[in-house]
Every structure is written in structure tokens, then in C-alpha cells.
Amino acid sequence: MRIDLHTHSRVSDGTDAPGDLVRAAKAQGLDVVALTDHDTAAGWPEAAEVAAETGIELVRGMEISTEHQGHSVHLLAYLPDPAHPPLAAELERVLAGRSDRLPQMVARLNDLGIALTVEDVVAVSGDAAASGRPHVADALVRLGVVADRTEAFDRYLAWGRPAYLSRYAAPLADAVRAVTEAGGVSVIAHPWGRSGRERPDADDLAMLSRAGLSGLEVDHQDHAPRTRARLRALARELGLVVTGASDYHGTGKVGHPLGVNTTDPEEYARLLDRAARAAEAARTVRGLVPPGVVRA
């Protein structure tokens, strides 16, 4: 059984339509795929329809942009009811924060002599729920200013670079609680990935586990073998589920092909078990309708 629990479609900053992503996952021989676009469930209906046709199990998810003690943390949320008001409000704030800073980001680039317009960025964003830095990067590629997304971040868009602007991120512990209340489960994406720091640290993870966190994405391309070993041990100690995934973005991110990392079927079963319990509580206590997996 091959299980990939972290992918992005065109609805955020990937390059495949949600349905095409599901077909690609099936063609790669995956048995289970999760669609986890940034801060939105907008790709779910199309992905679910194609999963049912194609015969692959689909986990409806999202990757929420959160912050903890000033550090950006990505939180994977699986199977929550996205209409639960506290969750919906956080997602809306993040998406609005991402889109609202776009004119100022473009103005910064204009100041550097780059003739980019907001319309250029919106044109490459297509059906994305919001225009973020990856879309600005794509627009810079299209304009011939940089060769690829990486160069755009390195020169202009990364923290500390001239066109960097911060935006709203949901407080991490609040996001964990909102996901649980919405009948879903949460897993910290690439916990010690991009930052190169071991943050959130072991104490933070213990606190989050008490707040309802279900797992850690241990097997991710941004983690070296040593980091994976340490996170795996920590997850075991805290009783957290261990996941592995590609963080596939189509052609938007190199080195992240579908299925490059996968989740152990037993760990997946534990995650679904926790989700079933959260969903039952959300249905009975709050009258919510968590989506459940689409079975192959």
C-alpha cells in the first residue's frame, strides 16, 4: 500500500488541476493520496469526483499557514469540516493576508526597476484561491527576470530580501484546536525542514500534542536522514503518528515527485482512527459534517 499525504494543486501553488493530480497519483501506483492545498478546501470537489472515477483513496486535506513564537509552521489538516466557523475564519484571514500584500510586493519590485504588474501575477495564479509569493515568482519567470522560482525567492521574495512582506499566519495551537473541533486531525508538515532549526522543539511538540496534535511529517525531502531519525524518536515518545509524503507541486517544485516519501499503512490507520473519533465528536457536539475519505 503506497500512501502520499501531502500534495498541492493549482488551487494553491501547484501546477496540476486537482483532478489531474489525482489521476497522476493513480498512474504513479499510489493507493492513497491527500490533496493539501495551502489554506483552502477549494480543490476538494473536483479531486473527490476524479478519485471516485479513478479508483484511488482520497484524503481531503489542507496545509494551514501558522506561526509559533515568530516562526512560520505549516500545519497539515486532514478531514476537517472547512465550514466550522473558527477554522473558516482563520483560513479566510490567511488568504486575505496573502492577497492583500500583493500590490505592495509589486511596488517593491517596481522600485527595483522590474516592470511587473498585479495583473501579471493574477494571470499566472489562474484558479488559485489567493496570489502568494510562488505566483509572484512565476510571474517574474514569465517576465524573464529570473530563471525559476528558487532564484526569485533567493533574490527577491525570501525573508530578508527586498520584496519580502510578512502576512497574517494563524497561531499554531489555535489552529490545532480549530481542526480538532472541525472533526479533523492535524500533522505538522516538515517540522524541522526549511528553517534549518529544530523549532518547534521537543517541549513545544509535547504541548501541541496535549492540545490535540496528531502527528509529525517525518519523511519529507527537506529533512536529512539524521533529522528524520530524531523526529521519528520524538514522535514515538509523544505517541504521535509518523507520516511521510512528497509535498508534490507539479512542476512548481523540483525534487518532490509523487510518492517520493510515503506513509506506513499502520501509521495511516492510526491517523484515520483519530480522525474518526474527532469526526464523531464534531457531528454529535457541533452538528458538523466532516468529509471522510473517498474510498477507492
Binding site for Fe ion (CB under 5 A): 63, 74, 189, 247
Beta-bridge partners for 81 = none
Task: Say whether 60 sits in a helix, a strand or coil.
Answer: strand
**13 touches Zn ion (CB under 5 A):** yes
Nearer to Zn ion, 12 or 262 (CB): 12
DSSP 75-90: EEEES--TTSHHHHHH
Binding test (CB under 6 A) with ligand AMP, winner from 158, 207, 211, 238: 158
Total binding residues for ligand AMP by CB under 6 A?
12
104 is a site residue for ligand AMP (CB under 6 A) = no
Q: Using CB under 6 A, which of 43, 80, 132, 259 touches ligand AMP?
A: 132
DSSP reduced 3-state for 191: coil
Cα–Cα distance between 91 and 146 in angstroms, integer? 31
If the CB atoms of residues 54 and 117 are measured against ligand AMP, the closer one turns out to be: 117
Residue 247 contact among Fe ion, ligand AMP, Zn ion, none, beta carbon within 5 to 8 Å by kind: Fe ion
Instruction: Give the helix ranges, DSSP H, for 256-296.
Output: 265-286
Residue from the set 133, 190, 270, 274 that interacts with ligand AMP by CB under 6 A: 133
Secondary structure string (H, E, C) spanning 142-188: HCCCCCCHHHHHHHHHCCCCCCCCCCCCEEHHHHHHHHHHCCCEEEE
Nearer to Fe ion, 172 or 189 (CB): 189
Q: Which three cell numbers stand for residue 250?
A: 507539479
The footprint of Zn ion (CB under 5 A) covers 8, 13
Interface with ligand AMP by CB under 6 A: which residues?
13, 38, 65, 98, 132-134, 149-150, 153, 158, 167
